[in-house]
Amino acid sequence: MKYGVNRVTLVGNVGEVPRVTERDGEAFVANFPLATNEFYKNKEGEEVSKTEWHRIVYMSGTFISQLM
C-alpha cells in the first residue's frame, strides 16, 4: 500500500494564546484554535460570512520556540 502526504494551508486568526506543553522532556506540543473566514454572496446577492474553527496541534520545530 502506498502512502501519500496531504498538505493543508490554513490562513486565519489565532483564537487564543497557544498552550505549549512539554512531552518526554524533549518534544514540545502547541495547541490553539484557528478561525478561518469565508465570504460569499448568496442567491439573493447578500454578502454572507462564515467562520469555521479549527483545533491546531503542532509538535516540536522552531515555531514552538517563537511561541514561548
Predicted TM-score (pTM) of the model is 0.70
Distance CA 20, CA 59 (A): 9
Residues composing the chain: 68
Question: Does a structural domain hold residue 2?
Answer: no
CATH number of the structural domain spanning residue 43: 2.40.50.140
Domain span at residue 52 reads: 13-67
Question: Does a structural domain hold residue 63?
Answer: yes
pLDDT at 61: 62
The total number of structural domains in the chain stands at: 1
Question: Does a structural domain hold residue 30?
Answer: yes
Least reliable range by pLDDT among 8-12, 36-40, 62-66: 62-66
pLDDT, tens digit, 9 for 90 and up, residues 13-49? 999 999 988 877 777 888 999 999 999 999 999 999 9
> Which cell numbers in the block locate residue 17?
494564546
